[in-house]
Structure 1
């Protein structure tokens, strides 16, 4: 196996090859070379060049893998570039020692409280298929900015993109700094046997549990970016045109294969029929009467997923769409109305362009029902009623979301991104990403000539006076 490539040998050879990559990165980390400002800036610059020098090839690979339209292709380059710029521009501030307040009594004795942020070490980043560049590189960029060498594992279900990673990463990075391993389940299993210092996984909850169990063997910290069935509320006061436009795009971008896509919509009875007509019109306006011919509508990642998503379509509830073509990996943008909580599409994350629409008359009932479900990665509400918005945001636990928009919170680097409960753990983006990929080392620093008297024997000492500096 070449540096950054896939093993073509047996399991033993593959494991040995991965161990070699890991050991080289571990040795580099233990040498302290990755902790310097210069190393971090150099890695960010290399990442930037790798993206920009081959921008057209990256976009072509995305289109080849599952027909990503031009806007979604460029998005996968633009967002990582923005994150590189953020870390480059703010690295000195992020790396700086942080002075923190300590009890006044200790401060009077000349003590200082200081926080240092240090890298964890060799970091494994496992990426998903739906945004195979962005969701692999954004965590890697945060890890490199924080001083961690990285092993990248792109999704095997996007073979063209994975092959480009395998080709280009060794050209731009030293293997002890950044390496890439391609492959599927066997390769991931072999990687997870290694004692990584940190693991960052983006994907399904089922695989997230596997990653977490493996990490527990080495007490390795993890960030898990998973998913869920994301609720969207449209109340009686909402701007229905705005809601329809945002939901039509948010649900159907990447052919619905977006972990923060609206998973279902609950609409107030008084506006439900009108909203559905506006939503139908918005979908047609965006993708035409035959979305299979639209250059802006992606394909499903596999025939298996096409069959799975198509199985959620209940013909008697279809008010738009409903067709599918397994061999073409195509599911038409489909609206199911009126849906109910027992429908097949309501039992799990659809991860495809089939959208159930439910009616409600009492938001309390909706909120109580949502509280009984797994905590989602995202949630959205469309309303002009501030009290309603506050009630929704205060009552429900979810990773993040928008008010009177969908999806766009994940484009804002200053908003920490991540899930909660079943939808994941840990946040990243911007400063949150740097902090998440850093060990926060807390220090109490005393002048050499001064001390804090806490030492025995205690018989002749005033215990209260000894404890006073810590009060």
Structure 2
């Protein structure tokens, strides 16, 4: 038996820890939902749908498949190495730093943690200080499940984050704004630390003239206003063909009323803005705009009604930054070249949604534009399948996760060739008369 020290937890230990985490989340699910209600005004159903049950599903999937993911994968060998056996080994990076956001403070904290632990890393986790109640519950849960040498939860604000970034890490995972993501990237570059950056951007939603308008309106309203619009992949604005814009807008307003009633402020299914800073930012977006629906607010309760803005200028404040709140601009387009101009202005979004019953049109959008992920004739639901990768491109992020993609993200793939005593003399000098043979071999090795 080897006397070498084993630095990383075995797969069996990782599985046991993840099972323990699953059990503890189930025990404290009510407490988690209560914390989410305090921080974001989330109804219990929404907290379960988008936070606790999402995480539990991720845990079940990871626990079920982890042993298979972690087994060294034998791959076809190269003739140049013959005779040999060739493998890919998955190895933990080591010390991982995870920065979590405030908008889905449970899901977006635990989901990357699951991947990091599954891959065998130790983790220092900083929950968002802007969702303190949820952060406290997370710390309580993780302290009960993990030894401090595996997972450490550190609470604090931007100053703590800066101090953490001064340390050397083996991997950094950040979810949040593009501006802060760039700062994270710069700090990581000093030590050549690999990163995953889950960022945002203005995710467009296109409604083609062939779309089923009533269905589109309902699904867009849900995708936009769930979590009070504070979702990184929410439709940020809607591009509607001018021939159906008026009818679509009417359906959209009706869908909002169906979801939240005539007075959403009194509806317990509708949440609140995270804090006064973000409330004032969102109210500022409404200045000078034409409001088709909503627009009412209450700073005391951090309430902003589901709001529809009609044809704002592309140079306006509401179209210059990611909204991240319950304000939905509706912009008409006439020709596909107009659509192309707007989409290129907001390229590399985290998500893109298309509502159309024209396959040629939808295929052209998917193939011609770069974005993180999206849906045809729906919104948000591409996040549900843990066999699909989630991540951005360009300004919307670097890297991907969910399911096995999380395990792969937090693992270094080591290429290993195991040779026998049998020798292949081709590679050795003298090289005379071997030129034609090596050319021939390279034609067939892969």
Q: If the TM-score is normalised by the length of the shorter chain, which range does it land in?
A: over 0.9
RMSD: 1.6
By how many angstroms is 1:465 displaced? 3.0
Q: Which residue of 1 aligns with 2:305?
A: 332
Change beyond 3 A, Cα 1:443–1:368:
farther
By how many angstroms is 1:339 displaced? 2.7
* Aligned: 1:68 with 2:42: yes
Q: Distance in 1 between matches of 2:285 and 2:25?
A: 38
What does residue range 24-35 of structure 1 map to in structure 2 within 5 Å?
31-35=5-9
Q: Distance in 1 between matches of 2:292 and 2:74?
A: 60
Change beyond 3 A, Cα 1:443–1:330:
same
What does residue range 180-219 of structure 1 map to in structure 2 within 5 Å?
180-219=153-192
TM-score by length of 1: 0.90
Q: Distance in 2 between matches of 1:364 and 1:101?
A: 47
Q: Which moved more, 1:322-331 or 1:76-85?
A: 322-331
Equivalent residue for 1:258, pick from 231, 236, 241: 231
Q: Which residue of 2 aligns with 1:40?
A: 14
Structure 1, unaligned runs of 5 or more:
1-29
What does residue range 222-241 of structure 1 map to in structure 2 within 5 Å?
222-241=195-214
Q: Which moved more, 1:226-235 or 1:340-349?
A: 340-349
Could you list the per-position Cα deviations for residues 406-442 of structure 1 after superposition, in whole angstroms to 9, with x for gaps in the alignment?
A: 0111111011000000000101111211111111111
SS in 2 for 1:300: coil
By how many angstroms is 1:50 displaced? 2.4
Q: Distance in 2 between matches of 1:423 and 1:462?
A: 50
Equivalent residue for 1:93, pick from 63, 68, 89: 68
* Aligned: 1:419 with 2:400: no
Q: Distance in 1 between matches of 2:428 and 2:162?
A: 51
Contact kept? 2:17, 2:145, Cα under 8 Å:
no
SS in 2 for 1:311: helix
TM-score by length of 2: 0.95
SS in 2 for 1:151: strand
Q: Distance in 1 between matches of 2:383 and 2:130?
A: 23
How many equivalent residue pairs? 439
Equivalent residue for 1:361, pick from 334, 346, 351: 334
Equivalent residue for 1:57, pick from 26, 31, 39: 31
Structure 2, unaligned runs of 5 or more:
none
Q: Distance in 1 between matches of 2:40 and 2:352?
A: 26
Q: Distance in 2 between matches of 1:258 and 1:377?
A: 11
Q: Which residue of 2 aligns with 1:370?
A: 343
Q: Distance in 1 between matches of 2:356 and 2:347?
A: 24
Equivalent residue for 1:398, pick from 371, 384, 388: 371
Q: Distance in 1 between matches of 2:317 and 2:181?
A: 23
Q: Distance in 2 between matches of 1:132 and 1:314?
A: 30
Contact kept? 2:22, 2:59, Cα under 8 Å:
yes
